[in-house]
Chains A and B, each alone.
Chain A
Amino acid sequence: MKKVLTLGLAAVMAVTLLAGCGGNNKEAGASGGGSPSASAGQPSDAGGKKRLAIIFKNTGNPYGEKQMEGFKKAVEENGDEAILKAPDQPTAEAQIQMIEELISQKVDAIAIAANDPDALQPALQKAMNAGIKVISLDSAVNAQSRITHVNQADPERIGRTLIQGVSEMIGGEGEIAILSATSQATNQNTWIEWMKKELEDPKYANIKLVKVAYGDDLRDKSVSETEALLKSYPNLKAIIAPTTVGIAAAGKVLTDKGLKDKVKLTGLGLPSEMAEYIESGVCPWMYLWNPIDVGYLAGYTAEALVKGEITGAVGEKFTAGTLGEKEIVADGDGTQVMLGDPFKFDSGNIAEWKEVY
């Protein structure tokens, strides 16, 4: 009797699991253009429509949703079908599971914003061996796990642009500080390196970088770090915060302390988060790439690979829809496509962008 019960329960569980998977796929298929084929787990070459998938880091990230939106737009402009996926938690394990699912669905391309540069290698190589074109966007995977990478912005251009911007704000003279994310954050550290290189230029001789503080992308810690900067360096003229949470936290502190005219703020931030501070003048302007464009470029890169226009080698060129012609350049031992200069958000355009993301 017990055995029967156990078997029955196990069967129910298995069915639930299967139903769960099916539900997921259907959802992804629906958001990718409403085709029911995605749930079947079978190739659907009948219509001749290619299927290109994007996996973002996790759900519930407005930035990621804009990226997926751009990707979908690019793929649909090419008359193909986009599959949009993102795990609940930002872990490599969850992404590996999704890659496996996509391999068994025999999609034509996978674009991934990776949660880990190395952990996805076996899964992505398996995908490439199965003939799937794999690219990474936003957060790269290592060169062995991808054909090419779509880089949201050139680290050198970001670092240099931020210093040029801050120099303009403070009239080329005074103390500045950087409020970063964690001390281990690869992106931020690369940008800070480029900022320091730009500062070596003699025209910035009167600008002094007094401290790099780390707010760990936590609201409370970023606030404490900003307050400490203001107290430790009473002559501080500007703060550069190349991170979304940090720049908004710094904007809040400067607003609350009424330091609008004394300390300037710039960096990289989300327009919706920063709208308040850009409109009030606490942050005269800031930068960020346009996530829709990142996804859009990834969509066109994947399309070009699927169509065989490019192979991912250095020097190849392709046309990326409204973004114009893009060239593949070297990136360490791999290759990448650069989106270009960061986009500037100021009081003139923030009203329009704060509604977007």
Chain B
Amino acid sequence: MKQKMFADAALAVGTGQGAATKTTISAKFAKFRELGLLAVIVLICIGVQIRNPSFLTWENINDIAANTAILSILSVGMMLVIITRGIDLSIGATLALSGMIAALTVKAHPGLHPLAALLLGFAVGLACGIVIGFLVAKVGILPIIATLGMMNVFRGLTYEASGGKWVSAHQMPDSFKQIATGSLLGINNLIVIAVVIYAVAYYFVSHTRTGRQVYAVGSNPESAEISGIKTKRILWLVYTIMGGLTGLAGVLWVSKFASAQGDTASGYELSVIAACVLGGVSIAGGSGKISGIILGAVLLGILNNALPMINVSPFWQNWIQGMIILAAVVFNALVKRGIDRNNLMRRKI
């Protein structure tokens, strides 16, 4: 299924080239697309609810939200990276590394404040992101190659740091585990953190100059450069943001599952990319919306939660998940084609 996602991504690259600038028509299409995604989510919910009445209960919705929080945090960073026509395959490894270092630290110093552990993981992730950003922006290595290479480097560092051992629940202080199990005003911390990150990210991409420049760099790097945007700096920035968010997610992951292993979140980057693609982020760069990736992540989260509950064989689970992702991507490609055709037609007049 994961290979399929890759194939889909490639497909999107093929059809989405030269994506639309902001026009009223494309805006309408984009809006319609998200409504379509919402409709898919509602349909799935109704279908699952009929088969298993315990699906739409407060407890289960809470579980879905908490389980999707980490994925959705990572999607924000991935969206920024993909908007600049890049991709980051190293986040699974970065997540493992920062989570492992945070876990080892709290194991050695159980009295450490949980916030300090969060900051530490964030810093480790940030450092990883800075290195990747440097390779991509300054050295000029293709993002897929740079991140593929660093993925192995970070994974190796994780094993090296831990000596191949796992950090288990009994080695972590309760305060650390409560990062993920605790709640603020009755809402799980993970959800709170994700919501805060989404609010900040929304402000960043829509209302700050740098945020808009990210889109400019993605839709047309040459024009962006000519118009005075420091494209290299923007590229460096998005990989750094991705790294920082991944570092944060790493600590949350380890705290949530109360275990840090060397192969934590191995292959998780593909789920994150899938959430972005589902949410309408174009692999060709230049387009992607916060509201879209929320829906994309929620859809994946619901699939992960619902498929075990409707009692289908594990073989079909993968098939169903793959088909839904495929359908969403094909839909995306068709919409893009429509937009392109509309643009051409307008040019004739």
A contact residues vs B (CB 8 Å cutoff) = 59-62, 65, 88, 182-183, 211, 213-214, 219-221, 223-225, 227-229, 231-232, 234, 248-249, 251-252, 256, 270, 272-277, 279, 354
Measured CB to CB, the closest approach of chain A to B109, in angstroms, equals: 19
The residues of B that contact A231 with a CB separation of less than 8 Å are 52, 54-55, 57, 59-60, 309
Distance between B314 CB and nearest chain A CB, rounded to angstroms:
4
Q: Roughly how many angstroms separate A292 CA and B156 CA in the complex, as a whole number?
A: 26
User: Could you tell me the distance between the alpha carbons of A65 and B168 in the complex, rounded to whole angstroms?
Assistant: 17
Say whether, besides A60-B162, A60-B262, A248-B259, A275 and B168 are in contact (CB < 8 Å): yes
Expressed in whole angstroms, the Cα–Cα distance for A232 and B308 within the complex equals: 9
Most buried by A among B54, B59, B314: B314
On chain A, the residues within 8 Å of B198 by CB distance are: none
Q: Does B287 contact A (CB under 8 A)?
A: no
A-B contact pairs, 20 of them (CB 8 A): A59-B159, A183-B315, A219-B253, A219-B264, A220-B304, A221-B304, A223-B257, A224-B308, A227-B305, A227-B308, A231-B59, A231-B309, A232-B52, A232-B54, A249-B257, A252-B258, A272-B168, A276-B168, A279-B170, A354-B168
What CA separation (Å) do A325 and B140 show in the bound complex? 64
Count how many chain B residues have C-beta atoms less than 8 Å from C-beta atoms of the other chain.
34
Q: Which residues of B contact A (CB under 8 A)?
A: 52, 54-55, 57, 59-60, 63, 67, 156, 159, 162-166, 168-171, 181, 253, 257-259, 262, 264, 304-305, 308-309, 311, 313-315
Interface residues of A, dominant DSSP = helix
Please determine whether B309 and A252 come into contact, CB atoms closer than 8 angstroms. Answer: no
CB distance from A237 to the nearest CB of B (A): 17
Q: Which residues from B are CB-within-8-Å of A272?
A: 166, 168, 170-171
Q: A252-B259, A272-B166 are in contact. List 7 more A-B contacts (CB 8 A).
A: A60-B159, A62-B166, A211-B311, A223-B257, A231-B54, A248-B169, A273-B259
A60 B259 Cβ-Cβ under 8 A:
no
Could you tell me if A59 and B168 are in contact, using CB atoms closer than 8 angstroms?
A: no
Question: Could you count the A-B residue pairs with CB atoms below 8 Å apart for me: how many are there?
Answer: 90
Residues of A within 8 A of B262 (CB): 60
Contacts of A354 in B (CB 8 A): 168, 170
Query: Which B residues are CB-close (under 8 A) to A225?
Result: 308
Cα–Cα distance between A211 and B60 once the two chains are bound (Å): 19
- Residues from chain A with a CB closer than 8 A to the CB of B258 are 248, 252, 276
A234 to B155, CA, bound (A): 40
- Complex CA gap A65/B52 in Å reads 44
Rounded to whole angstroms, the CA-CA distance of A219 and B163 in the bound complex is 21
Chain B nearest CB from A230 CB (Å) reads: 9
CB distance from B198 to the nearest CB of A (A): 20
Whole-angstrom distance from the CB of B93 to the nearest CB of chain A? 13
Q: Are B181 and A256 in contact (CB under 8 A)?
A: yes
Q: Are B170 and A228 in contact (CB under 8 A)?
A: no
Task: Please tell me if the beta carbons of A224 and B67 are within 8 angstroms of each other in the complex.
Answer: yes
Which of B156, B259, B309 has most chain A Cβ within 10 Å?
A: B259
Which residues of B are found within 8 Å of A276, using beta-carbon distances? 168-170, 258
A243 to chain B, nearest CB (A): 13
CA distance A53 to B55 in the complex (A): 53
Q: Which of A183, A229, A273 interacts with B169 by CB under 8 Å?
A: A273
Contact assessment for A62 and B67 in the assembled complex, using a CB-CB cutoff below 8 Å: no
When chains A and B are docked, how far (Å) is the Cα of A227 from the Cα of B304?
A: 11
Residue of B nearest to A229 (CB): B308
Are B159 and A227 closer than 8 Å at their CB atoms? no
- Which residues from chain B contact A182 at a C-beta distance below 8 Å? 314
A228, B159: Cβ atoms under 8 Å? Answer: no
CB contacts (< 8 Å) of A234 on chain B: these are: 54
Chain B hits for A279, CB < 8 A? 170
**Complex interface: chain B residues within 8 A of A214 (CB):** 314
A219 CA to B256 CA, complexed, in Å: 10
Contact of B164 among A62, A223, A277 (CB under 8 A): A62
| Closest chain A CB from B120 CB (angstroms) | 21
Residue of A with least CB distance to B59: A231
Tell me the minimal C-beta distance from B275 to chain A in angstroms: 13
| Residues on the A chain within 8 Å of B57, using CB | 231
Q: Once bound together, how far apart are the Cα atoms of A196 and B52, in whole Å?
A: 26
User: A59-B164, A223-B257, A256-B181 in contact; A228/B169 too (CB < 8 A)?
Assistant: no
5 interchain residue pairs of minimum CB distance: A60-B164, A276-B169, A228-B308, A60-B159, A275-B170
- CB-CB nearest in chain A for B263: A60
CB-CB under 8 A from A251, the residues of chain B are 169
> With A and B bound together, what is the CA distance between A62 and B165 in angstroms?
5
Q: In this complex, which of A60, A227, A234 has the most chain B Cβ atoms within 10 angstroms of its Cβ?
A: A60
Closest to B171 in A: A272
Give Cα A189 to B25, complex, Å.
55
- Residue contact B52 to A223, C-beta cutoff 8 Å: no
Tell me the bound Cα distance from A229 to B54 in angstroms. 11
Q: Which residues of A contact B54 (CB under 8 A)?
A: 231-232, 234
User: Shortest CB–CB separation between residue A321 and chain B, in angstroms?
Assistant: 26
Tell me, in angstroms, the Cα distance from A88 to B42 when the chains sit together: 45
Tell me which residues across on chain B come within 8 A of A65, comparing CB atoms.
164
A348 vs chain B, min Cβ distance (A)? 16
CB pair A273 B166 closer than 8 Å: yes
Q: State the CA gap A228–B311 with chains docked (Å).
A: 9
Give Cα distance in the complex from A65 to B163, angstroms: 11
Residues of B within 8 Å of A224, CB to CB, are 67, 304-305, 308
Q: Which residue of A lies closest to B164 (CB)?
A: A60
Q: Which of A220, A232, A248, A249 is in CB contact (< 8 Å) with B309? A: A232
Q: Which residues of B contact A223 (CB under 8 A)?
A: 67, 257
In the complex, what residue of chain B is closest to A210 when comparing beta carbons? Answer: B311
- Contacting residues, chain A, for B304 (C-beta < 8 A): 220-221, 224
| Closest chain A residue, CB of each to CB of B71 | A220
CB <8 Å contact, A213 and B259:
no
Considering the chains assembled together, what is the distance between the CA atoms of A62 and B171 in angstroms? 15
Task: Give Cα distance in the complex from A96 to B46, angstroms.
Answer: 52
Cα of A65 to Cα of B63 in the assembled complex, Å: 36
Q: By the criterion CB–CB under 8 Å, are B168 and A213 in contact?
A: no
When distances are taken between beta carbons in the complex, the residues of chain B under 8 Å from A88 are 156
